[in-house]
Amino acid sequence: MPELPEVETIRRVLERKLAGHRILNLTISHEKPLRPQSALALQAHARGQRIIAVERRAKYLLLRLEEGSLLVHLGMTGQLFAMVSGKPAPADMPGLPDKHTHVTLTLDRGQLLYFRDIRRFGHFRWITDQEATRLSEGLGPEPLSPQFTPGTLLKSLTRRQTSIKALLLNQRIVAGVGNIYADEALFRARIAPQILGRVLTLEQCTRLHAAIREVLKEAIHYRGTTLSDYYDPESRRGGFQDRLKVYGREGEPCVTCQTPVRKGIVAQRGTHWCPKCQPWKKSRRK
């Protein structure tokens, strides 16, 4: 699933390509991503509106319109591709529209936007400004914002009887972090993913806070991580997969101490860590 760096990369490309364009038409070939909205409702709300800006909240994209927004969540395999009608598509871009293209936006000046999703777990629908506000209020702080501090992280972990890995995946605690960057941040902070959130000290939260921000900024710089389905709207792969230190490196030597990286299940997710750099001892209940 695309996480904050991938969605932010997509946002930046779409902001450059779509802001100021007017939606002339929407072609919908499959309604599952629209639910509970209908194709007719989406077309009625979005057609004729101008895209004011492209924003991101956690893993959601918001195409802000003159009235309301188009809300996009990419799910597991969702993709957004932008191109100009009549111009050659990038060599790596699939022939569009294809059987996996569920929504096509035709905009003025020949601009096209395709929402493609092989597994159909993504979402694409129109929402009101009030719904957008409620969505944002239900999420935790953005990890790159001033509102996310070591103190707020420590407070959110207090009395939490679950692993720090599970808590980092909780979008009410920190918005936008997923499996890849949780593993990478915990490694950089030298914290075992199995440790209960309630036992972390302010010093550990300070390290973890810095590691989260560091790894996310670095991943954005390299346009995200491409392991399978992620491409930006210009069909470019991410580059951060070449800089991963633990994720996807089971059995390979740790980049710090040469101990083989382990993989196990934590928070029902495949989790990678170095047993030497991230030692774990079960703590007594306090």
Among candidate residues 6, 107, 127, the one with its CA nearest the CA of residue 51: 107
Mean pLDDT, the chain, rounded, equals 95
* Phi and psi angles of residue 146, each rounded to the nearest 5 degrees, phi first: -65, -20
Q: Are residues 63 and 112 in the same domain?
A: yes
Active site residue 2: yes
CATH number at residue 80: 3.20.190.10
**Of 31, 245, 269, 275, which one is the catalytic site residue?**
269
Among candidate residues 141, 152, 171, the one with its CA nearest the CA of residue 59: 171
In a domain, 156, yes or no: yes
Q: Are residues 43 and 105 in the same domain?
A: yes
Q: Are residues 234 and 154 in the same domain?
A: yes
Q: Are residues 80 and 122 in the same domain?
A: yes
pLDDT digits (tens, 9 = 90+) for 190-221: 999 999 999 999 999 999 999 999 999 999 99
Q: How many residues belong to the chain?
A: 286
**Of 3, 6, 142, 184, which one is the catalytic site residue?**
3
pLDDT digits (tens, 9 = 90+) for 126-139: 999 999 999 999 99
In this structure, are residues 7 and 14 in contact, taking their beta carbons and an 8 Å threshold? Answer: no
Q: Are residues 130 and 226 in the same domain?
A: no
**Of 11, 59, 64, 165, which one is the catalytic site residue?**
59
Domain that holds residue 126: 4-137
Six-digit token pair at 144?
């790159």
Q: Are residues 168 and 242 in the same domain?
A: yes
Q: Are residues 17 and 132 in the same domain?
A: yes
Q: Please tell me the total count of domains within the chain.
A: 2
**Sign of the alpha-carbon torsion through 223, 190, 182, 227:** positive
CATH number at residue 248: 1.10.8.50
- Say what the pLDDT of residue 282 is: 60
pLDDT digits (tens, 9 = 90+) for 44-94: 999 999 999 999 999 999 999 999 999 999 999 999 999 999 999 888 899
Active site residue 59: yes
Helix, strand, or coil (residue 264)? strand
Tell me what percent of the residues of the chain surpass a pLDDT of 70: 98
In a domain, 123, yes or no: yes
Helix, strand, or coil (residue 54)? strand
